[in-house]
Amino acid sequence: MDDLGLTPNALAVLRHRYLRKDAEGRVIETPEELFRRVAAAVALAEERFRPQERTRWEAAFYEAMAGRWFLPNSPTLMNAGTAIGQLSACFVLPVPDSIPGIFGAVAEMAIIHQTGGGTGFSFSRLRPAGDVVAETGGVASGPVSFMRVFDVATDVIKQGGRRRGANMGVLAVEHPDIETFVTVKDDRTALTNFNLSVAVSDAFMEAIERGTEFPLVNPRTGERVRTVDARELWELICQAAWRNGDPGLLFIDEVNRHNPTPEAGRIEATNPCGEQPLLPYESCNLGSINLARLAEGGAFDWQRLDELVQLAVRFLDDVIEVNRFPLPAIAEMTKANRKIGLGVMGFADALIELGIPYDSDEALSFAERLMERIAQGAREASALLARERGPFPNFERSVWKARGLPPLRNATVTTVAPTGTISIIAGTSSGIEPLFALAYHRTVLDGQDLPEVNQLFVRALRREGLDPEAVLKRVEATGSVRNVAEVPEHIRRLFPVALDLEPAWHVRMQAAFQRHTDNAVSKTVNLPSNASVEAVREVFRLAYELGCKGITVFRYGCRGEQVLELGRVPSFVAGERAVAHAEFTGECRICST
């Protein structure tokens, strides 16, 4: 197999999930053929606008992917040029307050999962448990009970036949069933196919600050049902997140302050990993630039970044053109706003190449400069496409028109995704996460174990004349080198892992990227197993104060099954490509992407 210099772990992921197979399950595609398939399928969009340039863009798309400079989201890699043809990763579906509406949403979810997409839902419109059902004279069972229906259906449908279905469940903090929602995962068997987020309003955060009562409102009637002590509800949320890693927070008013098309609707939910707020029936396709490739040799290639941004925006807009949408309503809404989400991966590896510690003011400054450059370039690329192809249909009633911007092809252009799986293919660290550990095991592919050792660390040790094998034996229990005295201080400082960092550094980094990101940033604040509930409270509060759109914490070991584990460090002495150096993403605990 022509492996394009991919790591063994990248090849394992590609064989299992991405490369085409025959009826007997035998792989019938090489990585080169995969990237050529995707490039050809996406570049077909050029035929509609500048057919004479299709071949040029097809070649450019291929080189960007095969060189691991840029990769699109998983459904594009899986489905482009195939009979499925569904290329988007992120969807939000409405859940109306009726039996036909609820079960219609379940059916729509199943169709999306079958084609490889993930779904987000706001259950905030459903009447609370115990409320009247006029049609039958009975009482409602509430949103959490109906979420179980979605969860069971997800168990049955495997995403695209190759990955687990993934859902985001959102409930407004003022919903009368909020306490039940917040604590539902105390039952470790409940809603295992859901990430959960509480849609927290500014009014609730202000009530916490003042120490006042907060009203819970029946969404069916709009009437106040009861009041709760805001600080007691806040404490319940923080304790549940400490115990279970769920719920996260979705700062819903901050999200809607940045809604580019408020006349088209209010945003109530996100995709499963939280980085993509969407209107009902919207979808979005994502892609990520590999920053580690741009930092090789210790100097960052800003010119190459600019070129990749232009290419990636065109690629993602082309995806909308050739996409085979799973539902007519999704096609209509997506084409009306044409949202795309360009982000990054390999940030931690890039910092290491540049000699910048993750937990430093220099890293924060670099993050802001980087994302501002990407955002500016992506907006310029979208404006260029608008001149070539026309603006997105809702542009005239968007905030961009009101602010005097030139016509844009896309309502949004930037999103920072977790990149859990595509970063393995790229052989780099995930999203904007710090390294999870310098050596660890990643459980993916329906239980397959992928050993990981960070090769930048191995090379740094060798440059210092140290024996990597001996050092890794010292770090295997914790994954960290911070307390290994024989390793020089500058290396210990340059290679922090997630649990070395004070939680505030995680939040500050997320906020630095969020300042220049249209959509949102997927980031997990990793906490040690002995972290306190107070640490969770501080993280949540800081995220709100710094303008993050959402926040998730995960205390190591708080759930029995997790994607990444410390210990059992593999041997790497067979060569630097014997194991991959993809790192922790805070990736989706549901679908591992």
Q: Is 439 helix (H, G, I), strand (E, B) or coil?
A: strand
Task: Rounding to the nearest 10 degrees, give the CA dihedral for residues 359, 365, 369, 375.
Answer: 60
| Contact residues for 218 (Cβ-Cβ < 8 A; gap 6+) | 127, 128, 131, 176, 224, 225
Query: Which residues are paired to 284 by β-bridges?
Result: 90
**498 is written with which tokens?**
């997630």
3-class state of residue 49 by DSSP: coil
β-partners of residue 344 are 289
Q: Which of 79, 271, 323, 337 is catalytic?
A: 271
Query: What phi, psi does 462 have (nearest 5°)?
Result: -65, -35
* Contact partners, residue 408, CB within 8 Å, separation at least 6: 379, 382, 383, 386, 391, 392, 395, 400
Cα-Cα-Cα-Cα dihedral sign, residues 431, 432, 436, 439? positive
Q: Which of 582, 300, 574 is nearest to 418 (CA)?
A: 582
Q: How far apart are CA 105 and CA 262, in angstroms?
A: 23
Which residue in the block uniquely carries the two structure tokens 């603006």?
A: 391
Residues 6+ apart with CB under 8 A from 558: 242, 243, 244, 245, 529
User: How many C-beta atoms surround the C-beta of residue 159 within 10 A?
Assistant: 26
Asked if residues 515 and 371 have their Cβ atoms less than 8 Å apart, the reply is yes
C-alpha pair distances (Å), 31 with each of 5, 14, 333, 479, 485: 10, 7, 33, 31, 42
Paired tokens of 204: 């609730």
In one-letter notation, the amino acid at residue 398 is S
Q: Which residue out of 268, 275, 282, 353 is catalytically annotated? A: 275
Q: Cα(123)–Cα(499) distance, rounded to whole angstroms? A: 34
The owner of tokens 């960070």 is 454
Distance CA 518, CA 458 (A): 37
Q: Any residues with CB less than 8 A from the CB of 580 and at least 6 apart, and which?
A: 7, 8, 9, 10, 424, 427, 450, 452
Q: Active site includes 271?
A: yes
Q: Is 120 helix (H, G, I), strand (E, B) or coil?
A: strand
User: Do 503 and 534 contact (CB within 8 A), yes or no?
Assistant: no
- Phi/psi for 287 (5° steps) reads -155, 155
Place of tokens 């007691």: 232
Catalytic site residue from 9, 73, 193, 273: 273
C-alpha separations of 233 from 145, 238, 240, 363, 433 in Å: 21, 9, 11, 35, 30
Residues serving a catalytic function are 271, 273, 275
